[in-house]
Amino acid sequence: MRMRTTRKRRFRGCRQAAAALGMLAPAGAPIAFARAGPGAVPYRGTGGHRSYPRTLLSEGFDFDPRAPGRQAPPRSLAAAVGDRLRALPPQTRTILEMLSVLNLRMPLAQLGQAAQVESPSAAIEPAVASGLVDWRPEEPACPVVIRHPLVRDAIYAGITATRRRVLHARAVSAVSESASWEHRVAALDRPDEGLAAQLERLAGEEAVGGRLALAATHLLWACDVSPARADRERRLLTAALHLTLAEESRGLALREAVEASAPSPLRSCVLGTMAFSSGQLAEAERQFSQALAEARTTPDSRSLATHIPDLHAYCYLALAQYLAGAWDDVLLTAEQGFSAAAIHSRRYELPLLHLAAGCVPAGRGAAGEAERHARLAEEAAASLDYGQERLYAATARALVCQASADYLGMADALGYWQDAVLDGRTRLYAVLWRPLLAEGLIGSGQLEQAAAVLDQLRAEHGQAGYLQPALAWLEGWLAEQRGAPEQARRIYARGEESASAHSPVYTARLLLAHGRLLRRTGNRKDAVERLRRADELYTALRAAPFIARTEEELAACHLPGSPAKKQPVLALTSRETEVAHLVGKGLSNPEVAAELFISRKAVEYHLGNIYAKCGLQGRQQLRRFVEQWRQPAAV
């Protein structure tokens, strides 16, 4: 198939590699590069020389297991290199094989030592003359490097499995410690738990430092050399979790292996993370809840962190609960996350944990608590070198600004990421931060930028059902700001038809916006109906700032707002809400204390405040009361 998206460059150095194999293109011939499409892989893997991808496409290509995503050389190329090697002296073949295993630019003396060749200078000369390697004798160390990656791959492909293991074992002492792990794994001919345990410990240190992709690579190697199934699965699952967070596509490629693993809290956590990254909010919440439940019921479990070593499980569950309207559950999940963080503290996870803990206080108007979490997230992120953690802190700040309708503050907090190059984790959280950025841009009058953000959001996450009311609300509001109220009304109406029952947060914003527009255009009856529905949803969430906005719109319709009986519920602190929520589930005071990691006296103190604020007497009334303000959360 003809590639349409191509651009032409001159590729210097490729002619030398082609000349070594008798495939030299005419001097000055332009080289075509594919930016995307079916031919992108062979073009990237061949350095751009047009003879090489033509050979790959005609003969087919496979993948080198030592380098995922890298092609094995085509058969004709391997045969050509093999012919050249057979014509060389044995010492030359030995040193070339060692160089292909090392796959580095090596000083000649060190290369000779690793290859166990007495005279490396004499051995390398025929390889230089044949055009297979570049030698720099004018430099003090006389470094040697194979001229082209495909030549190296062809040499490596011709080495027998037994011979490879011997050469990899020699390579361990010739390279740095960080580079030696791959050679140690490749030198094995049977599982080795000692090496697997070392790799797992190394991966743990790398994960603490935020190098998740590297940690995942070492865990996958550890999995490959683990003799016991339980150890293999634990290392595989942890690697899949790291990869889903760092490089989403590589993580999702492991789904089949994850699903084939035995049920465990970690397996449920990984499947929940994958569901979250794919926009399957309900499935993500189910898997995360299952992970935490399994961890609690596992025999000899001393803490959830023993079974779920990554705090992202708590954060993902909390954010999924937030978007699904289970705001009281968010507080409990965040509390459990902080308890786990006290046992296995990783500083790079704190910004996300504070974001998860601050979203409900912000939505409920607890400005002091929300501000505290936003500030702590910013402080933790400032001490790290990772842009993703700064995005978590910026999202927490934007939620604080949202509660006070500070649209310019929202846009300023998240504006940096509007045009930034996004990694997998940044895109994963786009379902949360891009709606906030679009809201800030629309509210502050930056309409063209807002339209671009909404286009990105719809292109990447438009199929997510729970996001449909958010898109309708923001696109309708954008149309209003552009002076097209009738277009906005149609967008709102279509959004209500497709609104997901799993998205009360965004559905309430859609109903409030539609009701406001209907009131302003004289349709008071339909406006009241939508505003009351929005008021019910916000009351169930106890979202005080948004209840106030809804009440203002209802008052403008010359109708009273909701009864004042809901105000005591809004006055509860986050801790009091957690206690009331657990008592409403039927937990005893000791069980509540264990769940929240507080003393029984503290539980009694909070219960006393709850009874006083809500005018209740006893646990039975509290349970009925909790049920009443939890039920309207459904759309």
For residue 22, give Cα distances in angstroms to 14, 130, 516.
12, 11, 74
**Candidates 3.30.470.20, 3.40.50.2300, 3.40.640.10, 1.10.10.10; CATH matching 574-633:** 1.10.10.10
Across the beta sheet with 143-146, what order do the strands follow? Answer: 106-107, 143-146, 133-135
Q: Is the pLDDT of residue 344 over 90?
A: no
Residue 490's pLDDT is what? 95
Across 537-560, average pLDDT = 88
Provide the token pair at 409: 């503050």
Look up residue 422 and give its DSSP letter: P
pLDDT tens sequence across 556-608: 988 655 544 444 455 677 778 878 888 888 888 888 877 776 777 778 777 87
Q: Is the pLDDT of residue 33 over 80?
A: no
Q: Strand, coil or helix: what is 456?
A: helix
Quote the radius of gyration of the chain (alpha carbons, Å). Answer: 31
CATH class of this structure's domain 76-186:
mainly alpha
Query: What percent of the chain shows pLDDT beyond 90?
Result: 42
Higher pLDDT pick, 310 / 188: 188
The domain locations on the chain are: 6-61, 76-186, 464-561, 574-633
Across 101-123, average pLDDT = 93
Provide the token pair at 206: 């790398």
Q: Is the pLDDT of residue 1 over 60?
A: no
d(CA 245, CA 426): 9
Residue 569's pLDDT is what? 54
CATH class of this structure's domain 464-561:
mainly alpha
Least confidently predicted of 45-54, 68-77, 273-282, 626-635: 45-54
CB of 313 closer than 8 Å to CB of 269 = yes
Least confidently predicted of 6-15, 160-169, 494-503: 6-15
Q: Strand, coil or helix: what is 3?
A: coil
Q: Judge whether 76-186 and 574-633 match in fold.
A: yes
If you count them, how many residues does the chain have?
A: 635
CA-based nearest residue to 285, from 432, 435, 502: 502
CA-based nearest residue to 145, from 119, 179, 108, 113: 108
Residue 5's pLDDT is what? 39
Residue 425's pLDDT is what? 60
Q: Is the pLDDT of residue 298 over 80?
A: no
d(CA 630, CA 628): 6
Higher pLDDT pick, 610 / 396: 396
Least confidently predicted of 94-108, 348-362, 616-630: 616-630
Please report, for the chain, how many H helices and E strands are present, in that order: 37, 5
Q: How confident is the model at residue 47 (pLDDT cuts 50, 70, 90)?
A: very low
Look up residue 633 and give its DSSP letter: G
Whether the model pTM is above 0.85: no
**What is the residue-averaged pLDDT of the chain?**
80
Question: At a CB cut-off of 8 Å and minimum separation 6, what does 258 contact?
Answer: 236, 237, 240, 267, 270, 271, 274
Please identify which residue in the block is written with the tokens 């651009």. 7
Residue 406's pLDDT is what? 95
**Residue 194, exposed/middle/buried by CB under 10 A (0-12, 13-18, 19+)?**
exposed
CB of 397 closer than 8 Å to CB of 378 = yes
d(CA 633, CA 631): 5
d(CA 619, CA 612): 13
